Amino acid sequence: MTKIQIIAIIGSLFFLSGIIQAIRLKRLKEAYALLWLATGIIFLIVSCWQHAIDKLASIFGIAYAPAVLFLVMLMSVIVILIQYSMVISRQNDQIKNLTQEIALLKQQLKKKH
């Protein structure tokens, strides 16, 4: 096992324990935590399995195999960012609808008084 693998495994375990702790303390909702947990588990698996790192490096044409770990992490973060962008877009629509509804209710209230 290489030094970079050991560091990646330890980092993955700390990452996963941090996510689990955040869920336990209700700082992170389960729906959002699933992607983070999946990312940590994938990173841990890729970190532990040297053959997977070498295979992925050859598929992507990467000369330095441990760089695959960073590629996997980058791709995972991009997926998470896309998911969060979708959540933010949906919440913006909900905020707009609620704001319009409040404005209409205020207008109706003024007409009654």
CA distance 13 to 7: 10
Write the Ramachandran bin of 28: left for phi over 0, alpha for psi from -120 to 50, otherwise beta: beta
Q: What average pLDDT does range 32-38 have in this prediction? A: 88
pLDDT of residue 31: 81
Strands (E), 3-62: none
Q: Quick one: DSSP state of residue 63?
A: S
pLDDT reported for residue 5: 84
3-state SS assignment for residue 24: helix
pLDDT tens-digit readout, 52-78: 888 889 999 999 988 888 888 899 899
Total-model pTM: 0.71
- pLDDT of 13 reads 96
